[in-house]
Structure 1
């Protein structure tokens, strides 16, 4: 027999015999023609194909701290800590996706573009009501009899203004009035 038996290799590597048998079935061990295990080559192949987190657990560690220092030191992207962080981040991301999916199905979440369109339309309606709410008041001023103004005829123009939006109604041209009132934006030069 050139190499080690499963039982001897398990004792040498600190694994259970079942773990050695599983590694043999999955092709993670290097075998001699007689079926015995090449210990050095098998250790190298297992190190290449084993999850870094499992290697750290097999050595008795759980992260980058404690222990003998050199064995647990952070060595780069293949170390246990970064793998564990990446796996944790993936798990958190998947949980958040599931939570959003559930909220969408329950109707808690709404489509952002649709909500923005609705809010914009409602704000525009509110603005228009705000501007036209004083229209009755300006019409009353236009038809009232003031002692210092001779207004036998209606005033030619009526306007309401919010300071930013000015609405002008032309009373003097009935044919123009049929097109409705003009809403002008205050620019400072009007």
Structure 2
């Protein structure tokens, strides 16, 4: 008579589901009463299992510990002195400590930058909804139209006022018109050298 499936699974360090699957697929054989001969099963397990497909090496048969006589049997598995501590791979926020120590962008920095970008985007969207912002292209086009309208008004001004001014000053109307037109064009040329800063 052998041992139970669960006992053999504990001895090999695998789940009882893995042992049942091994029996079902024929990698190991069970006795007629459903128990397992551990020595025979170990030989079959080693011979019928591809080492590259194993998750971890099976525990040797000589390493079996009797839970009744073991001095550490009262300790939980995580508290046994031979247990190797596992370093945490993430913090409560889901951030890898290794990522924080590296010189590159960590997950925390990336999340912070993403949140800042969201806040700025929402601020601009809210300002646009309130009518505090307009499109840059629309603003430039509007300024251009206003400047062209003002330029055309100034170019037409000498023709409208030169005759009346000449009569008031008792001078030649044509000569006054030419003088005013030249002065206005010179003034507009000076204004055209100004370049607004749109940045």
TM-score bracket for this pair, using the shorter chain length: 0.3 to 0.5
Compute the TM-score of the two structures, normalised by the length of structure 2. Answer: 0.39
Normalising by the residue count of structure 1, what TM-score does the alignment of the two structures yield?
0.41
The structure where strand makes up a greater share of residues is 1
Higher Rg? 2
